[in-house]
Amino acid sequence: MLPLIAVLVCFLVYFLGYKFYSGYISKSIFDLKNGLNDTPAHKLNDGVDYLPTKPVVLFGHHYASIAGLAPVLGPAVAVIWGWLPAMLWVVFGSIFVGCVHDFGALVVSVRNQGKSIGQVAEDLLGHRARSLFHAIIFFLVSLAMGVFVLVLAEMFSADPKVELFPSLNTADKIIPSIKNSRDQNVLKQPSSLILKEEEKQRASVNSASHTVTKEKKYSSVTTSKHKSISDNVYSNSIDLKKKSTLTNSTQAQNSTITNSETANEKVHHHPGEIRTEEKPSIRLRSHFPEAVIPSAVIMILAVIMGYLHYKKGMNLTPLTVFSVFGTLGSMILGMQDSVLSWTGLNHVETSPSTGTWKYILLFYAFLASVTPVWLLLQSRDYINSFLLYLGIVLIYLGFFTGGILQNFHSFNAEVIRTTTIGLDLIPFVFITIACGAVSGFHALVSSGTTAKQLDKETDARPIGYGGMIGESLLGLSAVIACTIGFTSSEEWSGFYRSWSGIQGLAPQVGAYIYGTGRFLLQIGIPETFGQGFIALIVISFALTSLDSATRLLRYNIEEIAESTRISWIQTFVGNRYVSSLIACIAIGFFAFLEIEQDGKRNLQGLRSGNFLEQRTSY
């Protein structure tokens, strides 16, 4: 019951923080007054960047813009110090630091004609401070979005090979995953077998079959329907030809290497029990081609919604219902093997390469930056926000259901580790978890796009403070998914045994999708579908961060041009098409940049503070 109680306490802290602390800041610090102070959205309304927007729509845009990959990646890594430090920083860090930061940045920008942080810095600190802010913003946003393009391109691309992340060096063993499909009280155990990749080098995929027999001694396992079993010999027959075919389909990418039962008897375990001398291992994914179709459909629906609502005056409610159900329908369609095979998205030979996806994503970022905010950016973020609302509700519903049924009775992780391979808990946990607790990028969103669309000053409280609580909920879900979501403490400790084991996209995103998939399983959502749904959410919010940040980078470049006080530069670079092109070139530079041979990992580390692993490698 400890996980259940801990999360309920976190919810209570969120509620108290919003009701009392944000109320105090709103009235006593910022003195927000409804309708008495005209916002820049009304004063400077141009229909492109400045536009008065309904709070529910603007909240969706703001929430989707700040809730990208980082709220998932940071906590997924930080739990290596134990579940308690990560949970405390995500909850209390957001309430007392992150939410106040976002709220304050939004109010300050609104009261300064919607100016960005750089422009406000000039008013307060001088021209040199503004130039410094612009330089830092240009570099960091370009770098961060370059990583996002890199990550998204990898996630969209197809990869037929099975990726394995063994917990121990004894990866040459085939560890049976025991499940009881007929016992409703036994939780399905999804990824728990590994097959050593070196064996594939010596095996022919065209052979009829290949039998691997391992003699294992198991300790006594007692269930309500089965007697004790010991010194059992498992013969696992694996048809490699069938396996090769399956790995070219989404089903194979979503599934793990499952056990084969012996011809004579079947063995069953309780949830998380793996009776082997080795710690269990899990296979994690980094490629999700099934997310391509729904991602494209969301963009099309966003354009339709924006046009019909702002140009034709259609009511927002039916448009919202149509768009949300259209998105869910496209997700179901995109996960069908027949559709993926027809489009060629799940085959390396026919799917766009990672490099091609980078160009496609940069072109999309350019379009999102130059088009009016109501046509694509705002409506797309609004639709995406409903995906996240639904996802968060289902994740926590599955968690509480499993907790009540006693399927999640412990965190499966250490409470606290003061040091991990020479890396101290303080200060590195605060470096590792940024988004989800506090992030400077949110100030750019608050003072960049959100402040230009705020209808009333009082809307700043639910959007600025409340939006950050929403992101913190996403971070909290990552904490519990990457601890409670594992099937056992042995599995968790095997996965988080070292820094090298959790670096890169697949371990970080994959661990979150793996854990949340088990949560959704508690409410009857099949694991394959649940993991695909969570993957779509993660990808969608990485895309919203990309398009919003590209627009913010465009604003920054235009402000740099303005600060030069050279007329032709102000005219040429100040053009939104030129500034957007420069922004995309800067992002593309980092997206295609390779540092040494494994440049991708180093580039990700440069952005996210994962230099910790590089430190331990020397």
* Of 30-44, 316-330, 440-454, highest mean pLDDT: 316-330
Judged against a pLDDT cut of 60, whether residue 553 lies above it is answered with yes
Residue 23 C-beta-side C-alpha neighbours within 13 Å: 7
Q: What is the pLDDT at residue 233?
A: 32
The whole-number average pLDDT for the span 589-600 is: 69
pLDDT score at 1: 79
Strand partners, 424: 419
- Give the Cα separation of 213 and 399 in Å (integer): 38
Q: What is the pLDDT of residue 540?
A: 87
Per the CB < 8 A criterion, the answer to whether 474 and 73 are in contact is no
Exposed/middle/buried for 609, CB within 10 Å: 0-12, 13-18, 19+? middle
* 607: number of Cβ within 10 Å: 18
The C-alpha atoms of residue 285 and residue 532 are separated, in whole angstroms, by 11
pLDDT of amino acid 365: 95
Average pLDDT, the chain: 77
Cα 480 from Cα 488, distance rounded (Å): 13
pLDDT given for residue 204 in this prediction: 41
Percentage with pLDDT > 90 across the chain: 37
- The CA R_g of the chain, rounded to the nearest whole Å, is 25
Cα end-to-end span (Å), the chain: 42
How much is the pTM?
A: 0.74
* pLDDT for 491 beyond 90: no
Q: 524 pLDDT exceeds 90?
A: yes
- Of the two residues 598 and 42, the one the predictor is more confident about is 42
Interval 71-79 mean pLDDT:
89
Q: Is the pLDDT of residue 238 over 50?
A: no
**Residue pLDDT, tens place only, 174-201:** 333 333 333 333 333 433 333 334 344 4
CB atoms within 10 A of CB 414: 18
More confident residue, 499 or 336: 336
Task: Evaluate the CA torsion angle 197, 203, 206, 212 in order and state its sign.
Answer: negative
Q: Which of 261, 284, 281 is nearest to 488 (CA)?
A: 281
Q: Rounded distance, CA 302 to CA 405, Å?
A: 40
pLDDT at res. 5: 93
User: Under a CB-based contact definition with an 8 Å cutoff, are residues 144 and 552 in contact?
Assistant: no
Please determine, for residue 528, whether its predicted confidence score (pLDDT) is greater than 60: yes
Helices 377-404 and 527-563: angle between axes, nearest 10 degrees: 140
Residue 167 three-state SS: coil
pLDDT at 609 over 50: no
Give me the percent of the chain exceeding a pLDDT of 70: 74
| Residues 125, 540 contacting (CB under 8 angstroms) | no
- Residue 447's CB: how many other CB atoms inside 10 A? 27
If one compares 179 and 483, the residue with the highest pLDDT of the two is: 483
Cα–Cα dist 556/565, whole Å: 15
C-alpha 322/C-alpha 315 separation (Å) is: 12
Q: What is the DSSP string of 547-605?
A: HHHHHHHHHHHHHHHHHTT-HHHHHHTTSHHHHHHHHHHHHHHHHH---STTHHHHHHH
Three-state SS for 225-239 is: CCCCCCCCEEEEEEC
Q: Contact 269/178 with Cβ under 8 angstroms?
A: yes
| Residue 331: strand, helix, or coil | helix
Residues 65, 469: contact at Cβ < 8 Å?
no
CB count, 10 Å around CB of 336? 13
pLDDT, tens only, 129-177 = 888 888 999 999 999 899 889 889 988 988 655 343 333 333 333 333 3
Q: Rounded to whole angstroms, what are the CA distances from 383 to 70, 298, 306, 408, 602?
A: 20, 7, 11, 32, 33
Quote the strand ranges of 321-457, DSSP E: 419-420, 423-424
Rounded distance between C-alpha atoms, residue 139 and residue 475, angstroms: 26
Cα torsion at 131, 132, 138, 140 (round to 10°)? Answer: -170
Residue with tokens 């503004």: 130
> Who wins on pLDDT, 612 or 497?
497
Q: What is the DSSP letter of 279?
A: P
Helices and strands (H and E) in the chain: how many:
28, 4
Indicate the SS3 state at residue 215.
strand
Q: How far apart are CA 340 and CA 210, in angstroms?
A: 29
478 close to 472: Cβ distance less than 8 angstroms? no
Mean pLDDT of 558-585: 92
Question: Which pLDDT score is estimated for 131?
Answer: 87
Q: What is the mean pLDDT of residues 320-332?
A: 93
Closest CA to 348 of 148, 592, 154: 154
What secondary structure letter does DSSP report for 196? -
Place of tokens 């966003």: 302
Q: List CB contacts of 361: < 8 A, sequence separation 6 or more.
A: 149, 152, 153, 543, 546
pLDDT category of residue 520 using cuts at 50, 70 and 90: very high
603-612 average pLDDT score: 45
Region of poorest pLDDT, from 26-30, 245-249, 581-585: 245-249
- What's the CA gap between 367 and 380, in Å, rounded? 13
pLDDT at position 25 over 90 = yes
DSSP string, 421-482: TTEEHHHHHHHH--TTT--THHHHHIIIIITTTBSSGGGHIIIIIHHHHHHHHHHHHHHHHT
Q: In the predicted model, what is the mean pLDDT of residues 268-280?
A: 36
Please tell me the predicted confidence (pLDDT) of residue 264.
Answer: 35
Strands (E), 206-352: 210-215, 233-238
| pLDDT band, very low/low/confident/very high, at 385 (cuts 50, 70, 90) | confident
Q: Which residues pair with 53 in a beta bridge?
A: 454
Backbone angles phi, psi at 214, to 5 degrees: -125, 130
Q: Is the pLDDT of residue 467 over 80?
A: yes
